[in-house]
Structure 1
């Protein structure tokens, strides 16, 4: 049986607006971020997509985004948290190294890139293996979504070179313990 995972990034936060590194620290959704979540939610409702299971990172910004998309019960998972940037958290983004980051943040007490990718990938694999339903929503973070995409790029024809924007939705098929990225849904937030 093929299942579908809708993996999405949270809405815009105060730190996103201020161009600060967020990681494991947290800041609230802005009004724009809340509106982005509502627009993302309408994507699902307009297509009659309902969720058999819902999951969010334990970060408030991910939980708040999910709660604006659906009113159903959901599970908070630490494995879906953003990359731990160590002492670089809450600093300005201009301090980031050029991409790819690799293990840059370990010097500041952060996570190694492969350790981070494995954490997110293992968490989502376990979710999909244990879920009995067919359609699952998971709200996470920009780098988390990107690392998960990279982990499964060998099975997928779809890719996005640019940044994963707020409330971007990644639709994956899941069968035989394998994910395939089917579609990337970017919303038009130009009116916000």
Structure 2
């Protein structure tokens, strides 16, 4: 039976993550020192996996998170469709109390099925993100010769992606937790054309960093 195994990770920590600054797709930040240590820890734990291909978003923080795998000579490709959701006018800002309240209202609306509401003025809706992700993932799945792949993405984008890969309502995206450099592992069965979730939000590879 032909299957594809997908190692799906969120990028490592950036200074924007550490400071609570909204990033989104419009902020092309670098990993900070902790983020690079997280990337190294993930590489050390999974360098034995024979990945056929690496996919990342167009943003530097995802490429930096898998750079050591790329350095091994594993082919990789960037898709803008894998970028983080655009937070519009909120990007680059530290939320104040009112903005936090607004954020919680947006999340509540999304959870109530109002996924056509943008993240912020000038930003994307979850439905728009899902639409561009589906185009990118259709290309990835078509490549049946790539049986083991590594995909580096972003927090909100991963939540959105998992809903449509697992045939769940988009409103359930927040049922998926994520941490910087966490791992989700999925399998795709070409016969049934279905995804299954094997590992969720796994950070065991970061245990030594957490102890330190």
Q: Identify the TM-score tier after normalising by the shorter chain.
A: 0.7 to 0.9
Return the structure number with greater helix share.
2
1:7 is aligned to 8
Higher Rg of the two aligned structures = 2
CA contact (8 A) 1:3 1:175 kept: yes
2:89 match = 87
1:72-91 Cα distance to aligned partner (Å, 9 max, x none): 23111101100011111111
When normalised by structure 1's length, the TM-score is 0.87
Residue 186 of structure 1 corresponds to 203
Paired residues of 1:44 and 1:50 also in contact (CA < 8 A): no
Cα distance per residue 1:80-136 (max 9 Å; x no partner) = 100011111111245251124544536511111111123223312321222412100
Contact 2:184 2:199 in 1 (8 A): yes
**Which deviations, in whole Å up to 9, do the C-alpha atoms of 1:33-66 show, x marking residues without a partner?**
0000111112213xx3110011111101011111
Partners of 1:154 and 1:73 lie apart in 2 by: 29
Q: Secondary structure at the match of 1:108?
A: coil
Question: Is 1:31 matched up with 2:33?
Answer: yes
Which one is further off, 70-79 or 17-26? 70-79
Structure 1 unmatched ranges of 5 or more = none
Aligned counterpart in structure 2 of residue 168 of structure 1, from 154, 167, 182: 182
Q: Indicate if the aligned counterparts of 2:52 and 2:75 stay in contact, CA closer than 8 A.
A: no
Q: Is the 8 A contact 1:38 1:69 kept in 2?
A: no
Aligned residues: 187
Structure 1 residue runs of 4+, over 2 Å off? 93-96, 99-107, 152-155, 159-163
Alignment of 1:124-143 (within 5 A): 124-143=137-156
CA RMSD of aligned residues (A): 2.2
- What is the CA-CA distance between 1:151 and the residue it aligns to? 1.8
Counterpart of 2:162 (choices 149, 160, 166) is: 149
Change (3 A) 1:168 1:112: same
Q: What is the CA–CA distance in structure 2 between the aligned matches of 1:13 and 1:172, rounded to whole Å? A: 26
Per-residue displacement from partner, 1:12-48 (whole Å, max 9, x unpaired)? 0010011011011121101100000111112213xx3
TM-score, normalised by the number of residues in structure 2: 0.79
What is the rounded CA distance, in whole Å, between the counterparts of 1:68 and 1:113 in structure 2?
31
